[in-house]
Chain A
Amino acid sequence: MELSKSNLNSLSLLKKIPKSVHQELLSLIFGVLLQQADETEIEKSQSLKQIDSTLLKEVFSGLITIVIQAIKNNLNAKSLAQFLKDTNAPTEFVGLLSTAYGKTFQKIKEIHLETTGFYLKKLIDINWRMDYIIKSNKIEQIDKPVYFIDLNLQKKDGQIEKLKFSCDTNQLQDLVTTLKDAVLAKKTLK
């Protein structure tokens, strides 16, 4: 797990926040991540309101990144605690964070990370046709083939989109070679 300097710094900034507030802050953060709470609740609570707001904002963002990163790296509560012990975080806080993390991490994972992706369309089928053009209205002699290619693509919601295009031999060869290169590149990864 890698964290940027500013995020690591936010852990050491925790010392400036009184220990009595730690539990409240954590519950708020996990509430936000579980989509049960809102950051407006900070202003509602009496104890959190007294803390310097910039400090609180920095710590808030830092803790959220730590939790999200830990989930991204699929850490369990124990290994997260181990990781935090190596940083400047106060030990009591580490205990609190790791226990809360252990309880909620599966849910947060489901809400935020498991359901996000890049959603490139999936190629399902290809139809193709080759026409040989002898001449056109304006040109007397062409004598070249033209390829008509239909790609059937599946979107993330299961709908099928058709991508149609025509190309000449050179373009088709270019397409084929790039595809072959891609396949080769994937093979070299093995």
Chain B
Amino acid sequence: MESVDEIIIHSLNQLGLKIDEGSTISDLTDPDFVLQVTSICLKLIDPEIDIPKKMPSEISLKYRIGQNLSQTVKDLGYRNEIGYHFFLYPDASDLRKFFLWLVESLPKTEEVEYEEDIVGSARIYQNITFSLQEWSKKPISNLNDILDNKQKTKKPFKKFETSRLQVPTDHDMNKEIVKSYCEQYLDYVSGQTTHIAESVIEHNDEGVVQQQEESELASAALDAGEYQQDYLKKQQTENYQTLNNALQVGGTFFSRSSTNYTNFLSNFENSRIEFRAFNLERNQGSRFSNTSEFGQKKSNEEKTILLEFEREVLGKTKEEEERGKEKEKKKGKELLKEKIQEKMDPELAMENLKKTHEEKVNKIRMMISEMNETLDSVEIENKNYTDLIMQLKNQFTEEIETIRESEKEIEVKKKVINFLPKSEENISKLRQLNNQTCSTLVDLAGDWEKFRADLIKKIRELKQNVGGKKEMWKVKIEKIKVMRNEMKDLVYTIKEKEGVYKQLIKEFKKLPKNIHRANYTKRIIEIVKNVKKQKTGITKILSEIHDLQNKIHLTNGNISRSFGIADETLYKAAQNDLEKIGSKNAYLLVVEIHNIFSEIRTKLQNTGKMKNQISQLETEIELMKTRDTTLNMKKIQKDLEMVKKENKMIKKKFSKLKPNKKSSKKKKK
């Protein structure tokens, strides 16, 4: 139990209480102290709980505080029994449980925060947010006061203005002009501007941001698996394309000047790329660029050689071509002269042309309007004709049908007319035919009956089958219904279990984590070791007890046997010589000795039992002592007296009040 006490006291000391590390819980049963600890802990658990830190002197108030406290503690989830009496008369064992619960339900404070390595703009943003947070916590008037005070006491404010600084760098020293400029004309930083601090800050931040950009670019290029330069070019062409597309989509406004714009863009892009490439070369001096330059030189040389070769081959044919060209030129000149003569009077020709054109256009327009009119009329006629055709077609089909019907009638009538002259013969023939057909009909009916019986049988069988199937279906439907009910039940149970799961998760989240885990494991291990030791001790003691019992039995047996032998021998001796008094006496003495020893044995056993009882009683006493009942009794008695006193006081006050009232009533009368 000491380790538990250590843990509790250690964690209570962390809360700002001053307790000796060596003391135990049983030293801390002062109700004022308990109240102090609980109020501190409960405030940490739930800052809204408000509990006084000291016990009031009046018992009734104490009782009320105790009740309130026990209720709040129960509401917070303390499972053991707790009541007002706990806070008034704390008990060591209960107090240990209660403190353990308090310490465990304290909110976690050991949260390890990893400071991330934030650089550049992210860091600046973080700083901004942090300072804004700080600023927003302050009341506004306060800020104003601060500013006003500063204005009064210190120099007048300046506005944050910067001017661009020029600082010589190593890279510039390669160029003579820049170097000479830096040496002779460039001023010191402080001479370049009137606000040094701001400009210097800007200059520095610019450099930082540039570095950051470059590093980001390098990492992006690494991710893409390309050289930095290639990646840059790729990205720029992509950007250029997207921009160009957007401009083209942007519509007609740019369409006229699009060529100019694209030219401008490409120029811009080239200059950007060159600038970037220059920067990179300056920084790195890449081999790649050198090799490419070398390659270009080679190709230029090859081109000049090829051109010279072509010139030599073509030189011979040039003369012939020149002759042909002269002839063509002469023809062209004559044609030109004719055209020029025509164009001597351009205005007249233009007017003529215009007139003819207008006449033609007018004619064509007239023609078009006429054609349109005729087209319309033709269309209308066309529609009428198609309607007519449809009507006629319908009439035609109807008439054809009527003709067919009439033809059939005519055929029947013709046959009847043919039969008329030999009517009797024909009638008899017809009767015969009739009889034949009757007999065939009867046969067919018999066949039909047979056939029908089979069919009916089949139908019955099928019906029976269907009935069976229906029963099956019924059974299955019932099963399905049962399943559905089960499903509903399952859904309900699932919902319930989900609710339980959520509650459990909430409880789990509320549960304290990582509080002195190592200590607990150590404790558990120690306890397990102790239990093992105690087990071995118990087995040893048990074996010892067994040995002792065996020995006791053996000695008992020895005693009884030896007494028997002694008894026999002495009895025989006594019988043999009855006259001798010595042997008789000896026998009697032996019997006496035996009786005395048996008494001693029983007494010994009794003393053992008594000792056991004594030890049991002692343990009980110790238990009782731990409960501190005697102290509590005294306290309770004191408190009872206090309560009685208070009651008396109240009674007195009450009685004082009553006569006053009576007197006042009397006065009124």
Q: Which residues of A are at the interface with B, using a C-beta cutoff of 8 A?
A: 2-7, 9, 32-33, 38-40, 42, 53-54, 57-58, 60-62, 64-65, 68-69, 72, 110-119, 122, 156-158, 186, 189-190
For chain B, residues 193 to 218, give those with C-beta under 8 angstroms from any C-beta of chain A. Answer: 195-198, 200-201, 203-208, 210-211
User: Can you identify 8 A-B contacts, CB atoms within 8 angstroms?
Assistant: A3-B207, A6-B169, A33-B196, A38-B190, A68-B197, A115-B154, A117-B158, A119-B159
- Pick the contact of B189: A53, A57, A117 (CB < 8 A): A57
Q: How far, in angstroms, from A118 to B160 measured CA to CA in the complex?
A: 5
- Pick the contact of B183: A32, A54, A112 (CB < 8 A): A54
B61 at the interface (CB under 8 A from A): no
Q: How far, in angstroms, from A58 to B40 measured CA to CA in the complex?
A: 61
Q: How far, in angstroms, from A186 to B210 measured CA to CA in the complex?
A: 29
Q: Are A156 and B157 in contact (CB under 8 A)?
A: yes
Q: Are A64 and B201 in contact (CB under 8 A)?
A: no
Across the two chains, which residue of chain A brings its CB closest to B181? A54
B150 at the interface (CB under 8 A from A): yes
- Pick the contact of A112: B119, B154, B197, B204 (CB < 8 A): B197
Q: Are B136 and A61 in contact (CB under 8 A)?
A: no
Q: How far, in angstroms, from A186 to B132 measured CA to CA in the complex?
A: 8
Contacts of B169 in A (CB 8 A): 6, 9, 58
Q: Are A57 and B201 in contact (CB under 8 A)?
A: no
Contacts of A3 in B (CB 8 A): 204, 207-208
Chain B positions 535 through 559: 1 when the CB is less than 8 Å from some CB of chain A, otherwise 0: 0000000000000000000000000
Contacts of A119 in B (CB 8 A): 157, 159-160
B179 at the interface (CB under 8 A from A): yes
Q: Are B204 and A116 in contact (CB under 8 A)?
A: no
Q: Are B150 and A114 in contact (CB under 8 A)?
A: yes
Interface centre among A4, A40, A42, A122 (most CB of B within 10 A): A4
Chain B positions 152 through 164: 1 when the CB is less than 8 Å from some CB of chain A, otherwise 0: 0011111110000
Contacts of B182 in A (CB 8 A): 53-54, 57
- Pick the contact of A72: B120, B189, B195, B201 (CB < 8 A): B201
Q: How far is the CB of B15 from chain A (nearest CB, A)?
A: 28
Contacts of B21 in A (CB 8 A): none
B50 at the interface (CB under 8 A from A): no
Q: How far, in angstroms, from A58 to B167 measured CA to CA in the complex?
A: 6
- Additional 7 contacts, C-beta under 8 A, given A54-B173, A65-B201, A111-B155: A3-B204, A3-B207, A7-B204, A57-B168, A68-B200, A122-B144, A158-B151
Q: A39-B188, A58-B167 are in contact. Are A113 and B204 (CB under 8 A)?
A: no
Contacts of A58 in B (CB 8 A): 167-169
Q: Are A65 and B173 in contact (CB under 8 A)?
A: no
Q: Are A110 and B155 in contact (CB under 8 A)?
A: yes
Q: How far, in angstroms, from A60 to B203 measured CA to CA in the complex?
A: 14
Interface centre among B154, B157, B160, B210 (most CB of A within 10 A): B157
Contacts of B210 in A (CB 8 A): 4
Q: A4-B207, A65-B200 are in contact. Are A53 and B154 (CB under 8 A)?
A: no
Q: How far is the CB of B453 from chain A (nearest CB, A)?
A: 92
- Pick the contact of B160: A9, A72, A114, A116 (CB < 8 A): A116
Interface centre among B120, B136, B203 (most CB of A within 10 A): B203
Chain B positions 387 through 402: 1 when the CB is less than 8 Å from some CB of chain A, otherwise 0: 0000000000000000
Contacts of B447 in A (CB 8 A): none
Across the two chains, which residue of chain A brings its CB closest to B156? A115
Contacts of B157 in A (CB 8 A): 115-117, 119, 156
Contacts of B154 in A (CB 8 A): 110, 114-115
Q: How far, in angstroms, from A54 to B166 measured CA to CA in the complex?
A: 11
Q: How far, in angstroms, from A189 to B187 measured CA to CA in the complex?
A: 44
Q: Are B136 and A186 in contact (CB under 8 A)?
A: yes
Q: How far, in angstroms, from A73 to B449 measured CA to CA in the complex?
A: 117
Q: How far, in angstroms, from A3 to B499 measured CA to CA in the complex?
A: 57
B191 at the interface (CB under 8 A from A): yes
B165 at the interface (CB under 8 A from A): yes
Q: How far, in angstroms, from A65 to B167 measured CA to CA in the complex?
A: 12
Q: How far, in angstroms, from A157 to B210 measured CA to CA in the complex?
A: 37
Q: How far, in angstroms, from A42 to B191 measured CA to CA in the complex?
A: 12
B115 at the interface (CB under 8 A from A): no
Contacts of A190 in B (CB 8 A): 133, 136
- Pick the contact of A61: B120, B155, B189 (CB < 8 A): B189
B129 at the interface (CB under 8 A from A): yes
- Pick the contact of A189: B123, B132, B173, B207 (CB < 8 A): B132
Q: How far is the CB of B511 from chain A (nearest CB, A)?
A: 29
Interface centre among B169, B190, B205 (most CB of A within 10 A): B190
Q: How far, in angstroms, from A58 to B170 measured CA to CA in the complex?
A: 9
Q: A3-B208, A4-B206, A9-B170 are in contact. Are A64 and B190 (CB under 8 A)?
A: yes
Chain B positions 577 through 588: 1 when the CB is less than 8 Å from some CB of chain A, otherwise 0: 000000000000
Q: A54-B183, A64-B196, A190-B133 are in contact. Are A5 and B201 (CB under 8 A)?
A: no
